[in-house]
Amino acid sequence: MSWKSLVTAGLLCVLASPLFAAPTVSVTNGGLDASGNWIWNVQISNSNPVPATSSPLAAELGFKETVSTLKSAATVNPGTNFDTANPGTSIFGWEPLVDVDPGAGVNNKAVGLQTNCATGCTVNSATVPNSVFAALGSVDFATVGPHDFIQIKTKGPTASSPTSATNLRTSTIQMLGAYGGNGRIAEATGATTAVNYDTFAGTFTRTATPGDTNLAGGVDLTDFNTVLSQIGIGTTWQNGNFHGNGTGTTDLSDFNTVLGNIGAASGGAGAGAGVGAGAGVPEPASILLVLMGLAGFVSRRRR
């Protein structure tokens, strides 16, 4: 069993060292991928200052999408961040268990990175769907971080009518674990038997405003121009296809959406705080010309 496995296995019985601050975890917004799915970047920072002799990390964390649908979860830059599948305590109950120390009695544990969803995941179970189990060990870090742990993707936003089942503009990730509902992160501080650790739990939500193509925090002229340029072409949210997001293309309904929401602030999806200082509302005459052009476009499509 590697030292990383020993670190994880010993988390319950080792107290935090007073010499170093415990590691921390963050879940940041990565925007949307090329398919229009939400990206969640889970990162871990080791103690500051970094221990002189060693600073590897071991983490046992669970994640559950509570609003949207889990699409995938994967390690980031294997070999340079968290590269070792460790044994950990089952969080959700669906995780396959393995005997992590054969010959020394049965010691069944959940191991490594596992995901549970309908398609594209390592486990397909009706028990606690849309969830991620991650018990991983890291390389020996020489810098404080943050260091990439895993990247999670969930189904991206769509903006159909308010009564439609496909109207889904929010994604919420819950972070939890097997230790009183908390996940745990540990750091070896020199000798592999000395560990700093802390527990983590929390909820993170992203909400997109219809019309906010770049998730910059509001709907402005940039979004208007994006939708205009993607009429008949765009297939995802960032290309102006708010109502289909993967089905159909950007059309007049999407244009009306961005037009009706010019100046609307985002519900928390982007990094911006609202409409940029240089982003103006289109003049009525310009809008009329655009509508006339769209009408011609629709007419040509029908013929």
pLDDT of residue 270: 36
Grouping H, G, I as helix, E, B as strand and the rest as coil, residue 107 is coil
Quick one: pLDDT at residue 281?
A: 36
The pTM of the full predicted model, rounded to 2 decimals, is 0.79
- Cβ partners under 8 Å of residue 123, min gap 6: 94, 95, 96, 114, 115, 116
Q: How many CA atoms lie within 13 A of 33 on its CB side?
A: 14
Side chain identity, residue 79 = G
What is the largest distance, in Å, between two alpha-carbon atoms of the chain?
A: 80
| Number of C-beta neighbours around residue 139 at 10 A | 17
pLDDT at residue number 249: 92
Fold of 3-207: Immunoglobulin-like (2.60.40)
User: Which residue, among 202, 201, 203, 211, has the nearest Cα to 267 in the 3D structure?
Assistant: 211
Displacement of CA 130 from its chain's centroid (Å): 12
Location of each CATH 2.60.40 domain in the chain: 3-207
Q: Residues for the chain: how many in total? A: 303
Per-residue pLDDT at 50: 79
Q: Over its length of 303 residues, how does the chain's per-residue pLDDT go in tens digits?
A: 343 443 443 333 333 333 446 788 999 989 999 999 999 999 999 887 777 777 789 999 999 999 889 999 999 987 789 999 999 999 999 999 998 887 777 889 999 999 998 777 889 888 999 999 999 999 988 888 899 999 999 998 888 654 444 567 888 999 999 999 999 998 876 554 445 667 889 999 988 888 999 988 889 999 999 999 999 999 999 999 998 877 889 999 999 999 988 887 655 433 322 222 223 334 443 444 444 444 454 444 444
Peptide bond into 49 cis (omega under 30): yes
Phi and psi torsions of 64, nearest 5°? -135, 130
Q: Six-digit token pair at 210?
A: 């219809």
What is the reported pLDDT for 22? 75
Return d(Cα 135, Cα 97) in angstroms, integer. Answer: 12
Distance between CA atoms of residues 138 and 146, nearest Å: 12
CA 276-291-243 angle, 5° bins: 65
Burial of 131 (0-12, 13-18, 19+ CB in 10 A): buried
**pLDDT score for 291:** 45
Instruction: Give me the phi and psi of 190, to 5 degrees please.
Output: 100, -100
Nearest CA to 47 among 147, 173, 137? 147
